[in-house]
Amino acid sequence: MPQHPVAPLPAPRVLTRPMAMELLTPDESLRIDTTVGYDSRDPHALTIAFHLLGENAVVWRVDREMVLTGSLRPIGDGEIRLRPGPGGGLLLRLGPADRRADVSCDREELARFVRETFVLVPQGTEERHIDWGPLLASLRR
């Protein structure tokens, strides 16, 4: 089978930003330090790393377009759900129903970060940033 020439991948671009979020419990809200990240090699996803005391960070991957939609209206199914919250917040519901975490963050701050990712990798160009080589090699075996 002939090989088709493949355009080189763009240089990887990474964004990270510390962001305060709150874990919402029935009795109180607790501040959690988080780091929001983006890597152009995984162009559809943001990472949200929750830095918990004495433990390794808990990291969630969330679709970047889902974050923007969730800042306007409820979206999501399964273990990730987002919706606008009171006072300019964004509510994230993470995890299965019996062990979920409800987290709130500043909606505009997170949306601004997502918009910056679209400057690095514009919508519709994500495929050009994915290294398909390992997948294709595994299919050839």
**List of domains in the chain:** 14-140 (2.30.31.20)
Residue 42: CA atoms inside 13 Å, Cβ hemisphere, count?
A: 12
Let me know: does 75 contact 83? Beta carbons within 8 Å.
Answer: yes
> What does the block give as tokens for 116?
């910056």
How much is the pLDDT for 102?
96
CA-nearest of 48, 10, 9, 40 to 117 is 40
Determine if the pTM surpasses 0.75.
yes
Closest of 23, 73, 74 to residue 48, by C-alpha: 23
pLDDT value at residue 104: 97
**Nearest Cα to 18, choosing from 121, 113, 138?**
113
User: What's the confidence (pLDDT) of residue 3?
Assistant: 60
Give the pLDDT of residue 52. Answer: 85
Average pLDDT over the chain reads: 91
Q: In the chain, which stretches have pLDDT less than 50?
A: none
